[in-house]
Amino acid sequence: MITVVGSINMDLVVKTDNFPKQGETTLGTLYTTVPGGKGANQAVAAARLGSAVQMIGAVGQDAFGTELLAGLKNEGVLIDQVKRTDGTSGIANILLSEGDNRIIVVPGANHSVTTEEIDALADQLVKSELVIMQLEMPISVVQRTLEICHQNGVPSILNPAPASGFTTEMLPFCTYLTPNETEAEEIFGENWEKALEEFSNRLVVTLGQKGAQFYDGEKHVLVEGFPANVVDTTGAGDTFNGALATALVEEKEFEWAVRFANAAASLSVEKFGAQGGMPERTAVLERMAGDRI
């Protein structure tokens, strides 16, 4: 069982031909709402690839909350440990243009989760094969979750997004750290490749269409990405993390796990919505051109 401790949002998506400049008003070409939140996205990605997944988080007592829980349940994600709180569910305002995105997140119910609640769910964490976290939850909750996993030998993936919430105190406790290139630079500085050498087979930096890079203890390894017909990049990183978790739980060799995650992420950008393009296992294996699990 993979446990995801993380955010659950409704994405409010607007497409436009050009991003507005400061003070400028532009016309949009589409508006829609789709389920999102980095935690929920990663849970759905892992579930579609065949993993058993449970979610720990919170939604509001609003229509979005009801819809978000129904969506997770429909994907096969266990939602028994998702609480409902007074107030609104988290939302993400996503602006799309020319295959790129700009995102503003309003945490809402996601920030109602407490360390005391995490302590009460420690048995759920300890029984997990792997725990995934991001930084759209209160930082104290992430830190406490990491500590429980570390103390009990449970592997964890920390996806440090947004990186502004990352603290160096988290590093000794997470098994794997998965920033993108921008986040890696914010955490480790311009010479983030040196950090790969310090955290061999633990730190993997995603590089968009170029793939992902890590250090295997002897050399730097660039695992190349896969060509994709990009429609919407929202959720690509979340797909990568869900797929990486799936492969690691199945005890795959690390480089193969990263390649599997690259393939899944490349497929995810070919459809609209953070979760809309998340692939099933068969499609990922086909893109990997004959590799087998």
For residue 243, pLDDT beyond 70: yes
Q: How far is CA 204 from the centre of its chain?
A: 14
Evaluate whether 107 touches 7 at the Cβ level (below 8 Å).
yes
What average pLDDT does this structure show over 268-277? 86
Could you tell me which of 32, 15, 2, 36 has the C-alpha nearest to residue 275? Answer: 36
For residue 283, pLDDT beyond 60: yes
* Percentage of the chain lying above the pLDDT 70 cut: 99
For residue 106, pLDDT beyond 50: yes
For residue 23, pLDDT beyond 90: yes
Is residue 19 in some structural domain?
Answer: no
The tokens for 70 are: 């129904």
Is residue 149 in some structural domain?
Answer: yes
* 3-state helix vs strand vs coil in the chain, percent to 5: 40, 25, 35
For residue 293, pLDDT beyond 50: no
For residue 204, pLDDT beyond 50: yes
**The tokens 């302590």 sit on which residue?**
119
Sign for the pseudo-dihedral over CA of 161, 165, 167, 169? negative
Is 206 among the annotated ligand-binding positions?
A: yes
Is residue 260 in some structural domain?
Answer: yes
Full strand arrangement of the beta sheet holding 100-106: 28-36, 9-16, 90-97, 100-106
Q: What are phi and psi of 287, to 5 degrees?
A: -70, -30
User: What Å distances lie between residue 165 and 92, 138, 143, 161, CA to CA?
Assistant: 17, 9, 11, 8
List the beta bridge partners of residue 159. none
Q: Give residue-wise pLDDT tens across range 79-91.
A: 999 999 998 999 9
Is 74 among the annotated ligand-binding positions?
A: no
Mean pLDDT over the full length of the chain: 94
Is residue 216 in some structural domain?
Answer: yes
Q: How confident is the model at residue 234 (pLDDT cuts 50, 70, 90)?
A: confident
Q: What are phi and psi of 8, to 5 degrees?
A: -130, 115
Q: How far is CA 245 from the centre of its chain?
A: 10
Residue 244 is part of a domain; what is its CATH number?
A: 3.40.1190.20
Evaluate whether 278 touches 235 at the Cβ level (below 8 Å).
yes
Q: Give residue-wise pLDDT tens across range 136-191.
A: 999 999 999 999 999 999 999 999 998 988 988 899 999 999 999 999 999 999 88
Q: Can you tell me the distance from the alpha carbon of 281 to that of 293, in angstroms, rounded to the nearest whole number?
A: 9
100 is catalytic: no
Residues composing the chain: 293
Is 226 buried (19+), middle (13-18) or exposed (0-12) by CB count in 10 A? Answer: middle
Is residue 116 in some structural domain?
Answer: yes
Is residue 31 in some structural domain?
Answer: no
The tokens for 46 are: 């892992």
Could you tell me which of 42, 29, 19 has the C-alpha nearest to residue 176? Answer: 42
Is 210 among the annotated ligand-binding positions?
A: yes
For residue 291, pLDDT beyond 50: no
Three-state secondary structure call for residue 160: coil
Is residue 94 in some structural domain?
Answer: no
Q: For the chain, what is the domain count?
A: 1
Q: Can you tell me the distance from the alpha carbon of 187 to that of 165, in angstroms, rounded to the nearest whole number?
A: 10
Q: What are phi and psi of 82, to 5 degrees?
A: -100, 120
Is 207 among the annotated ligand-binding positions?
A: yes
Is 9 among the annotated ligand-binding positions?
A: yes
Range of the domain at 202: 2-7+38-88+109-288
pLDDT for residue 255: 97
Is 18 among the annotated ligand-binding positions?
A: no
Q: Give residue-wise pLDDT tens across range 27-36.
A: 999 999 999 9
Evaluate whether 107 touches 93 at the Cβ level (below 8 Å).
no
Is residue 93 in some structural domain?
Answer: no
pLDDT for residue 60: 97
For residue 109, pLDDT beyond 90: yes
* Percentage of the chain lying above the pLDDT 90 cut: 84
* Stretch among 28-32, 55-59, 117-121, 273-277 having the lowest mean pLDDT: 273-277
Sign for the pseudo-dihedral over CA of 139, 144, 145, 147? positive
Catalytic residue among 86, 216, 238, 291: 238
Evaluate whether 58 touches 83 at the Cβ level (below 8 Å).
yes
pLDDT for residue 292: 43
